[in-house]
Amino acid sequence: MSMRVVFLDRASLKANVRKPALGGEYVEHEKTAAAQIVPRLAGAAVAIINKVPMRADVLRLLPQLKMIAVAATGYDVVDIPYCQEHGIAVANIRNYAVHTVPEHAFAMILALRRNLLAYRQDVENGVWNKSDQFCFFTHDIGDLYGSTLGIIGEGAIGQSTAAIGRAFGMRVLFADHPPPKMAGVAFTPHEEVLAQSDVISLHCPLLPSTRNLIDIGAFRKMKRNALLINTARGGLVDEAALIQALDEGLIAGAGFDVLTVEPPKNGHPLLDVRRPNFILTPHIAWASDGAMQFLADQLIDNIEHWAAGSPQNLVT
């Protein structure tokens, strides 16, 4: 069966993407504005998206659309209830970022725990040149060994993060939450994880129940020496509360790879945070070369399996 497939934001994926073996037209657009979605998907049975929003108002105008292939694990840009009601299959990517995201998280954890940014800033400002001895101690340096790593989200990425933490000699806690839960994981009450952890790393999806999961109340429950790492979704954290927590010393630092609005074309409060205990990277924790190629291959596999009647990685 011949099907038209359209990739709406090809520029978001730096990898080789093979043409789906469906016998129909395959079209790629580097990026797509909201007003271009419907005309570009005219006649398409399959839409490939990464961050292009597919909401009910758009989907109603695309009755021929049968599948949305998301080039990411997170699918909060898709109106899942509408797709379920109207028989639109939605597939996402699984297990592609199990190394790249945890490694990025730990790059930030190590930099913050050992105050690398602050020391680099001191060296650039000439502090070492003026030192009376071979080194200087202007900032605290902490070890990961023996500390507690709290993880919110026990999927493949959360568990891979836990494995790295254990290799550093960290005690790992997974925060409890409503079902569904990963089998074989021991859970600790959410409030206890907030209170006991020296590092808290977020690896859960953005859902109505998890939006602003970390608010000012959560920050007040954390240790004053705690680090908060977010490589998942910006909306998991109340960003105004984060700034307040850093300003008031409620936590020791934070590393973020995500914002609530991406890209921050009109500015963003976290872009203005200039302090050595805060690291902001541009949503690239997932983007190692190996991970992106794995993603691209699975993306087309998902489409071909669905077309063949043996779908995989379905969200709906």
Q: Which residues carry out catalysis?
A: 233, 262, 283
Distance CA 248, CA 225 (A): 12
Q: 142 to each of 2, 278, 280, how far by Cα in Å?
A: 59, 16, 21
CA angle 24/26/28 to nearest 5° reads 170
Specify the residue for token string 């200039």. 274
CB 95 within 8 A of CB 156: yes
Q: Look at residues 1, 8, 37, 33 and name the one whose alpha carbon lies nearest to residue 299.
A: 8
CA angle 1/52/295 to nearest 5° reads 65
Q: 204 to each of 103, 180, 223, how far by Cα in Å?
A: 17, 12, 21
